[in-house]
Amino acid sequence: MKLEQIINKIKDNTKLVGREIAYQALLLYYAYPKAPKKIKAVIASSLAYFILPLDAVPDPIPFLGFLDDGVVLASAMAIVRLYVTQEIKDQTNKTLDRFFPKKDS
């Protein structure tokens, strides 16, 4: 699984995906290299579900399309959270800022 695939999915569906789902997907991606094998299986399967077009709920459906993806990613995050370091969070936020610029308050 390549970062480019995740980025393309986010970029092509920015408004539908939303920052939180994109954040979870990227956290999982960046946590993958240092995770144990069993955890890597969880990460790979959840990211594959996010990227692949076959879903329980089709992605183009407004508000619902990425709901199932979000549930899968959140479930994976519950398992992977121990392997997410501050460095991974910083790297994820840096990547996300390219697609979801912070609004001035």
Tell me the pTM. Answer: 0.81
Helix (H, G, I), strand (E, B) or coil at 17: helix
- Band the pLDDT of 9: cuts 50, 70, 90: confident
Q: What would the two tokens of residue 30 be?
A: 């960046």
66 DSSP assignment = T
CA 68/CA 77 separation, integer angstroms: 14
Consecutive H or E run containing 87: helix 86-96
Q: What is the DSSP string of 20-55?
A: HHHHHHHHHHHHGGGS-HHHHHHHHHHHHHHHSS--
- The residue with greater pLDDT, 42 or 17, is 42
Query: For residue 42, what pLDDT is reported?
Result: 96
